[in-house]
Structure 1
Amino acid sequence: MTTGEKKRPGQVWAHVGQPFSEEEYGAVVLGAVVLGAGLLGTAAAVQLREQAPDLRVLLLDEGGLPNEEGATLLGAGVWDGAGLSGEAARLADQTRQELERWLGEDALTRRPLLDFGAEGAGDSAAVLQDSPALAGWVDPGKLPRVEQREALLYRPGELTLRLGRAAVAQGADLMLNVRAEPVPGGVRLHRLSVTNRHEIIIHETKTVRTRHLIVAAGAAGPDLLEHSLGLHTPHGRAYVQRPRLRQPSDDTSPVLRAGDLLLRPLTGEYALYLPPTGADPHGYQPTSGRLTGVQVGLRRELLRDLLPRMEALPVLATEALGVGRSLADLESAWLGLPYSDPLHPPVAEQVAEGLWLLLGGSATRSGVDTLGLGLVQEMVQQLAGTL
């Protein structure tokens, strides 16, 4: 590409009526083979085109962009770099710069964050007295200290959409409604269609060759590597839910933290985030719990984690907590995570030569929201050095 030459936009295949005959790509990014196009997959596609402009890149997704069934749309979208040091602090700073670049002031907002329980911080009672909207939320006797700082808020789905559009504008190809299967030296594409009886079928199957494969398929990623290529990675998956706290919020409402619990203002209410306690056993199917003997939609493990917190956070013991009548009433998704560390940051792991696994992480403080884009940038720089 000569200096000043405008990049040619990539091709988009959204349905099987558009013929596809490509046979080889320099890098294939699996956005989310099962769970949908995610933040890390689209970010990787953009970074590949920016750092290796001559590399042909194909971004794949089984659904749309962003996919409505994946963990990306469930993300908190809270950047908070407090307490990080060393490599984590550097990745957090890179992520913040990328957030500012892609979102700007129109979609990236700055909000106060109240971190209850932080040592050596301010007095909780005094802060709560100055915040009448939070009356009764926190018991200062149980959480006497609070640290006040600033956090950046954004919508992960909006960021994913912008990154996906940017990847195509910079020359990456995008194929939607395709079920992808890694094979030695490439990837097999099963293009999906829908019959007049609303049955999803495989319309055609194509195989493309690639030298580099990035699997950013969320909880489905480790399974894809094991079942398709026979590569075992020590990762499991966990089912997470995002209950709503039906307390009013607006453009000035603060974010609240209490340990690993996060409460984020969202669409006029608050969304509640807790990381999973560990990987679920193979074949596990989520089951709801009971509260005072009544069946509710909260997963049993989540309910077990919430109950001990209600004494320090009385707001969780009120009718404001949306417990739902069934699991389907609560927003939820599957996460991929290592068996050894349920509170893990995002993962960029080179599984084999030319093969990478991306996982978004499960920690509420240093997860994909704070470290993800920086981690992808580091991974692509390493990959680009081998091209």
Structure 2
Amino acid sequence: MTPPAPPGRVWAHVGQPFEPAAYDVLVIGAGRMGSAAALFLRQLAPEARLLLIEEGGLPNEDGATILAPGVWTLAGLPEAHHAAAHWTREAAQTLGDVSWQARPHVTLHPTPGLGRLPVEEALREHPQSLALLDPAALPWAEVDPQAATYRPGSLALRTAQQAVALGADLLLNTRAALCGGGEVQLERLTVTNTHQIVTHETHRQGAPTVILATGADAPHHAEHALGVHTRHARAYRQMPHLAAPSNDTSPVLRAAGLTLRPQHGAYTLIPPLHWRDPHGYQPAGGQLTGVPTGLRRETLEDLVAQMDELPVLASEALHMGRSLSDVPGAWLALPGGTPAGRPTFEPLDDHTWLLLGGPQADTLGLHTAYKLASTLAQTLGGQTAAL
């Protein structure tokens, strides 16, 4: 019987000396996609030496992972992808405490259709939810009773911790840049006494396989560093707070692409994604009746357009903020260049793979990370498993 691998090393700050070593795989980005790929690779190819690199001080410290909706649902998902969604759900539930909470997902409609119920019937047990909308404007509802909510940030942290427990090394507070040929430049970051982030030291680290899992920045990084143009895009998504009461059983509501996600006794609003932001775009707040707000113009326009159907949006319950920093937001990858793009991976050159989550990472992300790990395990001398 092969003894278990010893835990990997963790470099949390520049006071811990780091020297490049022989690695088989470098994973750049410890969000949920990169951390999951690292964990699955350690499981499928335990002999492969792996280094997980993260620019922040903890896996998932900021960005799209920690601000993701965390809504698992089959609503709107083609049946061909249901098996992958269920695989992701089962995998997420085995990773430890990620605040998994079963709750229905209710999609609201202005017209009847196959499988739709009168909205009063669908929300009979949730009068607080029914009070948020105008039943005359949205009289029909489609219910996914299997849906659930969870915390993607906790998921990323758990997968990174388990990857380290299985022998992966973790290098924190380090910015990584592709150099081509399987080489990466590492910039170890530190903070001065005037709170400036500076580069403390740089290293060149190579490996036969590099996984680029830096989210919305990854396609631009690939084009800039490798000269590889991809079909992927990105958008800046804000998540305003709605101070309407919710509880542990309140359903997730969705109307015209806007999702009301119960959270912390209130709601987080997840607006629809129907635009692409070019690289170099800087989000700016909008104005409502001439008064500056923290909501970017596109988000504000979407909410104003839905105030008739969801009157709560026109009330003081909607937190609009006084500046952009008052309303949480993050860059989100759009795989395939469309908001409906599902998580994906693809080779960029002989050494580098691109791994993206995107809007449907809540439901399909772990399955995609596992597929990549299984693909790479074949070349790393590990095992593969049926999906």
Question: Please, what TM-score do these two structures have when normalized by structure 2?
Answer: 0.92
Of 291-300 and 40-49, deviating more is 291-300
Partner of residue 123, structure 1: 118
Say how many residue pairs are matched.
375
Q: Distance in 2 between matches of 1:275 and 1:166?
A: 34
Check the 8 A contact 1:288/1:295 in 2, yes or no.
yes
Check the 8 A contact 1:38/1:160 in 2, yes or no.
yes
Partner of residue 183, structure 1: 179
Check the 8 A contact 2:335/2:357 in 1, yes or no.
no
Determine whether 1:311 maps to 2:304: no
Q: Distance in 2 between matches of 1:296 and 1:290?
A: 5
Secondary structure of the equivalent of 2:28? strand
Q: Distance in 2 between matches of 1:290 and 1:86?
A: 41
Q: How does 1:94-133 map to 2 (within 5 A)?
A: 94-103=87-96, 107-117=99-109, 119-120=113-114, 121-128=116-123, 130-133=125-128
Partner of residue 226, structure 1: 223
Secondary structure of the equivalent of 1:93? helix
Q: Distance in 1 between matches of 2:194 and 2:315?
A: 45
Structure 1 counterpart of 2:196, one-letter code: E
Partner of residue 31, structure 2: 38
Q: Distance in 2 between matches of 1:288 and 1:331?
A: 12
Partner of residue 146, structure 1: 141
Determine whether 1:355 maps to 2:352: yes
Partner of residue 34, structure 1: none
Determine whether 1:368 maps to 2:361: yes
Secondary structure of the equivalent of 1:73? coil
Secondary structure of the equivalent of 2:210? strand
Larger relative strand fraction: 1
Q: Distance in 2 between matches of 1:203 and 1:53?
A: 32
Structure 2 counterpart of 1:163, one-letter code: T
Partner of residue 24, structure 2: 26
User: Gapped runs of 5+ residues in structure 2?
Assistant: 381-387
Structure 1 counterpart of 2:176, one-letter code: A
Change (3 A) 1:342 1:219: same
Check the 8 A contact 2:60/2:157 in 1, yes or no.
no
Structure 1 counterpart of 2:227, one-letter code: G
Q: Distance in 1 between matches of 2:237 and 2:78?
A: 28
Check the 8 A contact 1:93/1:374 in 2, yes or no.
no
CA displacement at 1:298 relative to structure 2: 0.8
Secondary structure of the equivalent of 2:247? coil
Partner of residue 383, structure 2: none
Q: Distance in 1 between matches of 2:366 and 2:271?
A: 22
CA displacement at 1:342 relative to structure 2: 2.9
Structure 1 counterpart of 2:309, one-letter code: A
Q: Distance in 2 between matches of 1:103 and 1:274?
A: 29
Of 319-328 and 128-137, deviating more is 128-137
Counterpart among 296, 301, 317 of residue 299 in structure 1: 296
Check the 8 A contact 1:278/1:339 in 2, yes or no.
no
Secondary structure of the equivalent of 1:25? coil
CA displacement at 1:284 relative to structure 2: 1.5
Secondary structure of the equivalent of 1:164? helix
Q: How does 1:250-269 map to 2 (within 5 A)?
A: 250-269=247-266
Partner of residue 86, structure 2: 93
Secondary structure of the equivalent of 1:74? coil
Partner of residue 57, structure 1: 50
The C-alpha deviation readout for 1:100-136, integer Å capped at 9, x for no partner, is 21136x7312112222127331111334454321343
CA displacement at 1:45 relative to structure 2: 0.5
Change (3 A) 1:340 1:155: closer
Partner of residue 275, structure 1: 272
Partner of residue 382, structure 1: 375
Change (3 A) 1:359 1:275: farther
Q: Distance in 2 between matches of 1:56 and 1:259?
A: 46
Check the 8 A contact 2:55/2:173 in 1, yes or no.
yes
Q: Distance in 1 between matches of 2:123 and 2:248?
A: 19
Check the 8 A contact 1:279/1:339 in 2, yes or no.
no
The C-alpha deviation readout for 1:6-33, integer Å capped at 9, x for no partner, is 22100100111111123321110001xx
CA displacement at 1:67 relative to structure 2: 3.8
Secondary structure of the equivalent of 1:342? coil
Partner of residue 385, structure 2: none
Structure 2 counterpart of 1:17, one-letter code: G
Partner of residue 164, structure 2: 168
Structure 2 counterpart of 1:122, one-letter code: L
User: Gapped runs of 5+ residues in structure 1?
Assistant: 32-36
> What is the root-mean-square deviation of aligned Cα atoms in Å?
1.8
Structure 2 counterpart of 1:210, one-letter code: A
CA displacement at 1:181 relative to structure 2: 0.9
Question: Please, what TM-score do these two structures have when normalized by structure 1?
Answer: 0.92
Q: Distance in 2 between matches of 1:339 and 1:281?
A: 15
Partner of residue 321, structure 1: 318
Determine whether 1:236 maps to 2:233: yes
Change (3 A) 1:26 1:275: farther
Q: Distance in 1 between matches of 2:130 and 2:48?
A: 56
Partner of residue 7, structure 1: 5
CA displacement at 1:189 relative to structure 2: 0.9
Of 353-362 and 41-50, deviating more is 353-362
Q: Distance in 1 between matches of 2:157 and 2:36?
A: 10
Q: Distance in 2 between matches of 1:128 and 1:251?
A: 15
